[in-house]
A and B are shown apart, each in its own frame.
Chain A
Amino acid sequence: MNPGTIRQILLITDGCSNHGEDPSAMAALAREQGITVNVIGVVDQDIIDEKGLSEIESIAKAGGGVSQVVYSAQLSQTVQMVTRKGMTQTIQGVVNKELQQILGRSQTIEDLPPDKRGEIVEVVDELGETAGLQVLVLVDTSASMKHKLPTVKEALLDLSLSLNARMGENHFSVFIFPGKKSEVEKLLDWTPRLEALTNIFPKLTTGGMTPTGPALREALGSFKKKRSLRSLLSNDDKPFFEESV
């Protein structure tokens, strides 16, 4: 079976957007293009802003992804868990669609008797392990995120460790918002090596507004470019995977 490619945006933020388009609308637009949006809200101990919380949830809902609010200390585990959950959710959606085609009704995995689910789980696991994965990480670098950035860096390195253990190929890209000159800035172009972040991340400056919506819009554009780019660099990815094992 051709596993295909799963495309995700991972948004890491700590609060409310205050500039530009409604981020939920942009997330919905992403979903329309087959890109899911997962959101992680990083909070300081005991500071949970209700408005921020509901924004985080609604972006993920609109983007067909997973959301999780977490204290900075637990970020590493959460980032990999949310990414995996998001993948499984996407695959499950595809499998459900197939099931409906075969069974002709609005059947989902849950409608099958428990004994029949086992084999489907194996298919979902198999796809999760072998599918190609493109993750665009979108990091909020507004002023309040400043002291959380080292943790974000650690979490992203840990994410690449987890994902590079898979059999499938991975591609990462990192955007930050707000950027130095514009609303959004590309920090790392599509690459299988997320480790390249290590050198760039400490130099980041924080501050300004939180244009979450425009950042999501910009991120979407990057996926399109990526596709045309890939056709040029068709076999560029293979060697990396072998190296990383």
Chain B
Amino acid sequence: MMINHSLRNQYKVSPGTVIKGKWYNHEYRIIKELGNGANGIVYLADCHGQDAALKISDNSMSISSEINILKSFAKVRGCTLGPSLLAVDDWAVKDKVFPFYVMEYIKGENYLDFIKKGDSWTAVLILRLLKNLSLLHGMGYIFGDLKPENLIISAPAGDVRFVDVGGITPIGRSIKEFTEFFDRGYWGMGSRKADPAYDLFAAAMIFINSYYPKRFGRKGEGLSELTRAVNEHKELRRYEKVILKALMGKYDTADSMREELLRIISQNSAKGGIPNQGTKEPSLVQSRTARKKKTKGRHLESLILVLLISFIYILYIYSRLL
């Protein structure tokens, strides 16, 4: 990473430290560090006996703009895209003042850790991610710095939640924050203007990253390199059509990409099962019955299949919940 000795240490605090708000006098006891990014550090904190996530920084501009985003999420009823905002304040320590905000602590796992459970989750999570993106784009925003580290898969339902809202940008503006591997501009595949296709490019890269956990750098021509990466991996090849279209910016909306992906998943399961290593998904059984009858009514068949799978999936979630 970059070398930065300057301010970071000043708001890096050890577990047990009590952070007291300057404006509202609430106290938060730091439990542990959850992560740190370009614009601050996120801690797990005890807030009146409840777990909460506290983000602190030396940059009041970026903190305030994140607060703006979280507030606009709160205006949409039932919106669970990101964490809900609990409190906003400043911490005065010695002669410095550090702005911070407190948000809901989302229990769960980082995307890349989660899919280690089994391949069968990857496509499902991408579908869910696309649904989230569709909601966010509908609100007039682009996620911007979309990458696995910014996605938490909440336990046990497997919902996808956004955790770092720092890169969220109004549609039509320029992208403020990005990570090279997921950035359309880095691969020479388009501009850094915030449009839905920018996020869909990153979503396709998350798909690729799922099978190339170490990522890779650009060496030559972007598209041919990425196409090769997709082709060289058996599981990715199944979704080649959707991934390449997203990389080339051919989807205008997250919904159109989602529909096409869903179609491919159901076709795959009709042909021979979506990739399945774990015992979690019931699709293997489904696909065997499907393979026996190679009839014309494939569309009806896949529809029934999707319904069946989702039904069994709901049952499964219920059994986990009870």
Contact = CB atoms under 8 A, between A and B. Distances in A.
Contacts of B8: none
Contacts of A120: 64
B322 interface: no
Interface residues of B, number: 31
B61 A92 contact: yes
Interface in B149-198: 172-176, 180, 185-186, 191-194
B141 to A, nearest CB: 13
Contacts of A113: 23
Given A92-B61, A109-B60, A115-B88, A161 B191 contact: yes
A68 B4 contact: yes
A125 B141 CA distance: 14
Nearest to A166: B174
Contact of B67 (A110, A114, A163, A245): A114
A125 B167 CA distance: 13
Nearest to A95: B61
Which among A48, A118, A124 has the highest number of chain B CB atoms within 10 Å? A118
A104 to B, nearest CB: 21
Contacts of B172: 167
A113 to B, nearest CB: 6
B1 A162 contact: no
Contacts of B88: 114-115
Interface string B190-212: 01111000000000000000000
Contacts of A81: 38
Nearest to A163: B174
A163 B2 CA distance: 21
A110 B185 CA distance: 34
A109 B90 CA distance: 12
Given A78-B2, A125-B65, A161 B176 contact: no
Interface stretch (A69-77, A177-185, A211-219): A69-77
Given A88-B61, A114-B23, A122-B68, A69 B3 contact: yes
A164 interface: yes
Interface string B97-119: 10101000000000000000000
B180 A114 contact: no
Contact of A114 (B64, B193, B194): B64
A167 B173 contact: yes
Contacts of B89: 114
A158 interface: yes
Contacts of A76: 180, 186
B71 A118 contact: yes
Interface string B267-301: 00000000000000000000000000000000000
A165 B1 contact: no
Interface string A182-201: 00000000000000000000
A121 interface: yes
Interface string A69-113: 111001011100100100010001000000000000000011001
Which among B3, B90, B191, B194 has the highest number of chain A CB atoms within 10 Å? B3
Given A69-B3, A114-B23, A121 B64 contact: yes
A109 B61 contact: yes
Contacts of A167: 172-174
A162 B68 contact: no
B98 to A, nearest CB: 10
A77 B175 CA distance: 12
Contacts of A164: 191
Contacts of A122: 65, 68
A117 interface: yes
Interface of A: 43, 48, 68-71, 74, 76-78, 81, 84, 88, 92, 109-110, 113-115, 117-118, 120-122, 124-125, 129, 158, 161-167, 245
Given A92-B61, A165-B174, 8 more contacts: A117-B64, A118-B71, A122-B65, A122-B68, A129-B173, A161-B191, A162-B175, A245-B193
25 contacts: A48-B3, A69-B2, A69-B3, A88-B61, A109-B60, A110-B97, A110-B99, A114-B88, A117-B60, A117-B67, A118-B67, A118-B68, A118-B71, A121-B64, A121-B68, A122-B65, A124-B61, A125-B65, A161-B192, A162-B174, A162-B175, A164-B191, A165-B194, A167-B174, A245-B193
Q: Which 10 A-B pairs give the minimum distances between C-beta atoms?
A: A165-B174, A165-B192, A117-B64, A121-B64, A165-B193, A114-B88, A166-B174, A161-B185, A121-B65, A69-B3
